[in-house]
Amino acid sequence: MREFLTLILMLLLLTSNKTYLLFLYQAKLALDSLEVPVGCVIVEGGSVIAAGKNWTNEPRNATRHAEMEALDVLKEQWQRTGFSAAEVAEKFSAYSLCVACEPCLMCAAALSIIGT
């Protein structure tokens, strides 16, 4: 499995838009940490502004999915800037999210709530 994911990552990195493929790198990092290989990046204007990978086994916390990890990175950034809830929703609705698989119900709900 690891060799297959590495091969796919190498092939996809040859494409023109590498920014959006960084979620695969996050998935590989998760796999290397003996986690389910799911990675997520949040992109604004062609630049990755947050990234996350599955991190459930080590902390024994089933809620630490890649999307939640990436959202926590954004949350820390937003807290430093002092954005209001309306500003957060406006900014978040302009971002692109790239994830290695379809978000689960928990992550989909969190993403939906932030964008409203």
The fold for domain 2-114 equals: Cytidine Deaminase; domain 2 (3.40.140)
Domain ranges in the chain are: 2-114
- φ/ψ (deg, to 5) at 96: -110, 140
**Confidence at residue 107, expressed as pLDDT on a 0 to 100 scale:** 97
- Cα 86 to Cα 29: distance, rounded to the nearest angstrom: 34
Catalytic residue ranges: 67
The pLDDT tens digits of the residues spanning 3-56 come to 766 766 666 666 666 776 788 889 999 999 999 999 999 999 888 999 999 999
The pLDDT tens digits of the residues spanning 54-66 come to 999 999 999 999 9
- Cα 38 to Cα 100: distance, rounded to the nearest angstrom: 5
**Confidence at residue 116, expressed as pLDDT on a 0 to 100 scale:** 73
